[in-house]
Amino acid sequence: MSGPRVHGLETEYGISLLGVPAAEVPHPMYLANHVVRTYLESIGFGQGRWDYTAESPLIDARGFTLPRERASLDQLTDTDQGLGNAMLDNGARLYVDHAHPEYSGPEVRTARDAVVWDRAGDAIMLEATRAASAAIGHEIRLYRNNTDSKGASYGTHENYLVARAVPFERIVRDLTGFLVSRTVVIGAGRVGIGQAGQAAGFQLGQRPDFFETEVALETTVHRPIINTRDEPHALRRRWRRLHVITGDANQAQVAGWLKVGTAALAVRLVEADRAPDLRPLRPVEAFRAISHDPDLTRTVALRDGRAATALDIQQAWLDACRGLDDLGTEELALLEAWQRVLDDLRVDWRATADRLDWAAKRLLLESFRARDGLSWDDPKLALVDLQYADIDPTRSLALRLEQAGRLRTLVSPAEVEAARRTPPGDTRAWARGRIVGRFVDQLLGAGWDGLTFAGEGGRGIVRLELTDPLAGTRALVGERVERATRPADLVDLFPATFAG
């Protein structure tokens, strides 16, 4: 069984305010809201009009719904908190999530496009941050990282469309080993061990120390390796959205491409029920152990009694993926790049510093350590770690490496610039982004799977349903959407509900 490939990335940004005494620094939620609203107002979107009625954060894929009285406040993402929250004209969502500005990219069909529109999010956030800083007279900085090293973690989440017919139990059984081992490829690197970085050292990933269980509904507490939120943002009887929360925020484009592309291949294996049986005996411990082993030699116990390194597990998944039917051009390229990275890691991790974040960052850190005689607990190294993640190219160490040709690129600045205001053409994001951009003044509410507009003369409402991620593409509806002079002109293109 193999369904269509549709992916999406979400990035919560670390945020800080400079030049203000610590006692006067406002709550991060205020800062995040200021950044988000500044951008929305600059493009004429006001505060935004997100439609919360389609949100269902408490439905669990294991077959039950968590009662609201038992849910934590962080889980109640279906309530309006009065913060900036909008669908953008490039098909993405920009909002405040748990005191962080978040950019949730539009649905795309390729891993490369995921990188393009993810980078567009950085460009949007950089513009927003500069304008927001000017407005308050103090510099706000944003970071593509996943922890403040003071005990807090924030997410970079991935989403993969999966056929509803695939049993969720199979996803749990098969995918755990892939997710805990892939840190050797997609880890962003981190100075410090433990949630607060209380132990000295360097590790591969930013997120593993914050995971506490194998399977659960939560995403901010008791974090699970397999998240069970059953919120498909699509036709429920046909699709589920696999919400992956274990990944790191990547600055390296190749690492980001491999993150999405190899996971999509792994999902294909799970759908086909052909995944390798490499389940860790203790997944949470294995996740941390792999991250804490930058020399890549540690083995983890498997449930069948064997032991394997992360490289062994990744190789087994790669080998199994080679046997998938109808591999496309990008998938074949991903397999080749994946194999080259694993081969290089076996010989010398330094050889991957042009593609992988943790290797590029470690190489920088090791050079500072050698030059200045620094130990791993020296605060200067923590600052290097943070500066690597800065999204401003005038400060970001990662982007300087990229500009110098020491980090490989896959996408061009022109593509990223276009993606700031243009949605991808081969998913419903195209119709959603274009319709929102053209008729934002009439928009009453926007969600991933539907748009609600005011009726003629402001009387009544019209809701356009976008429950099929593969409908609403430029090829299918482009000409009609561009010719429309009002939302009512589109009611025969999408299922529509009228009221009033």
Give the active site residues.
97
Of 10, 8, 9, 11, residue with least CA distance to 142: 11
CA distances for 431 relative to 89, 218, 400, 465, angstroms:
10, 32, 36, 11
Q: Which amino acid is at 11?
A: T
CA angle 395, 400, 402 (to 5 degrees): 140
E strands in 335-398: none
CA distances for 103 relative to 16, 20, 128, 135, angstroms:
17, 26, 12, 21
Rounded CA gap, 241 and 263, in Å?
Answer: 13
H and E: helices and strands count for the chain: 14, 20
Rounded CA gap, 264 and 281, in Å?
Answer: 24
| Positive/negative CA dihedral, 238, 241, 259, 271 | negative
Rounded CA gap, 323 and 305, in Å?
Answer: 26
Burial 10-33 (b: 16+ CB within 10 A, else e): bbbbbbbbeeeeeeeeeebbebbb
- What 3-state class would DSSP assign to 221? coil
Q: How many other CB atoms sit within 10 Å of the CB of residue 373?
A: 8
Cβ neighbours for 130, distance < 8 A, ≥ 6 positions apart: none
